[in-house]
Structure 1
Amino acid sequence: MRGVVVAAALLLAAAGAAQAGPDLGNWRVDAASDGQVTASLYATNKLITGNGALGYSPVLTLACRPDGEPRWSEWLQLNDAVSASRKITMSVMVDGTSKFDESWSVGPRGKLLVREGDDGIKRLVSANRLLLSWRFGLLSGRGEADFDLAGLSEAVGQIAASCNTDPP
């Protein structure tokens, strides 16, 4: 019986220690072997795949590289490719304010959209919601990803500390 009480006490202590850290919301923080640190978040909405059979949530990733420039970047990972080859125009809306357009690079196989630099991350740190919208192709329609940014400032603080730099 004493062993059960000790195990329960250790479990409660571990749960308390796990809750003592910052609240990252739904953000997942990871470190790669090359030292790059990322924080990723699934969109709250689903996009239907090209064949219409399944839906998926795009993933927004914020990344910090400890060496090199640019140090910070944002990625949007998709399951369906966009038809653009180098750049794509992304419509951005932060906290429901007016939309503005940005140029994002198209990554491998058109399934990764990338924006380098810390200015995009800077504007998100105090935000609650992010809406991204883009065209898949001339006749293919638009994609839209809606993100609940709860825990973002804590996630950015954690990846900046792991990356040994100041948050944007």
Structure 2
Amino acid sequence: MRDVVAAATLLLATAVGAAEAGPDFGNWRVNGGSDGQVTASLYATNKLITGGGALGYSPVLTLACRHDGEPRWSEWLQLNDSVSASRKITMSVMVDRGGEFDESWSVGSRGKMLVRDGADGIKRLVSANRLLLSWRFGLLSGRGEADFELAGLSEAIGQMAASCNTDPP
């Protein structure tokens, strides 16, 4: 009898825990900032080797919405190595297994952040499973590539939009 009660208690605890669990964002980390910005970040599945060649790192893709102000939505790619461009860079983009296309991204802080403003970039990702970004570090320095598995993104964007009091892209 004690085993039956223990099993029933465990089953009830599991059911309650599942009911209390929040939405599944996959590997996305959603954060609400006190600065009026809500972000969702994801590490790339691949590693880039740093300039010295000794260490590797995964670039981080971050999507953001703002409670007020423009642009309402933006995305950025955080790198450990800087690109040599100063203002704009051409990013090659492939969503799922579709065709590759180019976009213009702004070069941010010390060349280690690539930024694209607007909801259209995020809108194309909502129903996607995979994103592949590719860019040149410089004329002679080769290309960088970041591969992202987007599981949980639509839930993360829904949470972000609710937190920002706006419609999802």
TM-score (norm. length: structure 1): 0.91
> Could you say which residue in structure 1 is the equivalent of 2:3?
none
Separation in structure 1 between the aligned mates of residue 17 and residue 55 of structure 2, nearest angstrom:
36
Question: What is the count of residue pairs matched by the alignment?
Answer: 161
> Could you say which residue in structure 1 is the equivalent of 2:26?
25
Report the alpha carbon displacement of residue 70 of structure 1 after superposing the two structures with TM: 1.0
What's the RMSD between the two structures over aligned residues?
1.6
> Could you say which residue in structure 2 is the equivalent of 1:154?
155
Separation in structure 2 between the aligned mates of residue 17 and residue 53 of structure 1, nearest angstrom:
45
Instruction: For 2:156, give the aligned amino acid.
Output: A
Separation in structure 2 between the aligned mates of residue 18 and residue 77 of structure 1, nearest angstrom:
33
> Could you say which residue in structure 2 is the equivalent of 1:85?
86
> Could you say which residue in structure 1 is the equivalent of 2:18?
16
Separation in structure 1 between the aligned mates of residue 43 and residue 95 of structure 2, nearest angstrom:
16
**What are the within-5 Å matches in structure 2 for residues 56-71 of structure 1?**
56-71=57-72
SS of the residue aligned with 1:157?
helix
- Structure 1 runs (4+) greater than 4 angstroms displaced: 8-14
> Could you say which residue in structure 1 is the equivalent of 2:54?
53
Tell me the alpha carbon deviations over residues 32-77 of structure 1, each in whole angstroms, 9 at most, x when there is no partner.
1111000000000000000001100000000000111110000000
Instruction: For 2:17, give the aligned amino acid.
Output: A
Report the alpha carbon displacement of residue 97 of structure 1 after superposing the two structures with TM: 1.1
Report the alpha carbon displacement of residue 15 of structure 1 after superposing the two structures with TM: 3.3
- Percentage identity across aligned positions? 83
Instruction: For 1:93, give the aligned amino acid.
Output: M
- List gaps (5 residues or longer) in structure 2: 1-5
Report the alpha carbon displacement of residue 16 of structure 1 after superposing the two structures with TM: 2.4
- List gaps (5 residues or longer) in structure 1: none
TM-score (norm. length: structure 2): 0.90
Separation in structure 2 between the aligned mates of residue 14 and residue 139 of structure 1, nearest angstrom:
57
SS of the residue aligned with 1:143?
strand
Separation in structure 2 between the aligned mates of residue 58 and residue 79 of structure 1, nearest angstrom:
8
SS of the residue aligned with 1:79?
coil
